[in-house]
Chains A and B, each alone.
Chain A
Amino acid sequence: DIQMTQSPSSLSASVGDRVTITCRASQSVSNYLNWYQQKPGKAPKLLIYAASSLRSGVPSRFSGGGSGTDFSLTISSLQPEDFATYYCQQTYSTWTFGQGTKVEIK
């Protein structure tokens, strides 16, 4: 199976900060890469698919990039509702998720 490794595992940031989370695949997944946001006690929500396509209704401060093995999720200006855990997922082969990145309030 393709292993997905996110970094950092957690980070502390302030409202208004620019935040970038990275996701690395153990082999190329082309751009078959999605990002999800999960808040405590809630189901995950899809943010980005196909590495850089923003899901309808998701704020434009979220953006995704990358291809092959290296990907990023950027929040341009962190808002209070963005404190959550973020997961990447590859759908190139036998779908797998990263271990998650927890974004906490500084």
Chain B
Amino acid sequence: EVQLVESGGGLVKPGGSLRLSCAASGFTFSKAWMSWVRQAPGKGLEWVGRIKSKTDGGTTEYAAPVKGRFTVSRDDSKNTQYLEMNSLRSEDTAVYYCTTWGRYYDGSAYYFFDYWGQGTLVTVSS
């Protein structure tokens, strides 16, 4: 059974930093592409960032609102994905979900978030 367990959320002051972790099990983590999605209280979903497997280059990409402030990384020896968040703002307040970045090929490549963790709440407030 695929399990994704986030941790590291909490209350942080504007301008502060936080690192989220996502412990994965039930699948071959080193081959998985991973991602982070967030949801502000009472709002919709927003993709944050993603990372490919090391064998596929380990490249990362970010949404515009977090680019330059957030960093996605992975430690395959620990089956863990990370989200390092710096220069936090009030608008970063959200539940942060760890997801697997699934893909399907039929001549074209289709991507989706197929497994999700339960989420961890980050509150940015003074």
**Distance in angstroms between the alpha carbons of A97 and B37 in the assembled complex:** 11
Task: Count B interface residues, CB 8 Å.
Answer: 21
Tell yes or no: A50 within 8 A of B by CB: yes
Residues of A82-106 at the interface with B, using a CB-CB cut-off of 8 Å, are: 87, 89, 91, 94-100
Question: Which residue of A43, A46, A98 is within 8 Å of B112 (Cβ)?
Answer: A46
- Judged by a CB distance under 8 angstroms, whether B84 is at the interface is no
Contacts of A68 in B (CB 8 A): none
Complex Cα spacing A15 to B116, Å = 28
CB distance from B64 to the nearest CB of A (A): 7
B121–chain A nearest beta-carbon distance, Å = 11
Chain A, residue nearest B118 (CB):
A43
- Does any Cβ of B come within 8 Å of A55's Cβ? yes
Do B110 and A32 have beta carbons less than 8 Å apart?
yes
Q: What is A's interface to B at a CB cutoff of 8 Å?
A: 1, 30-32, 34, 36, 38, 42-46, 49-50, 53, 55, 87, 89, 91, 94-100
Q: 6 closest Cβ contacts across the A-B interface?
A: A43-B116, A49-B112, A50-B110, A97-B45, A95-B47, A91-B111
Q: Which residues of B contact A (CB under 8 A)?
A: 37, 44-47, 63-64, 97, 102, 104, 106, 108, 110-114, 116-119
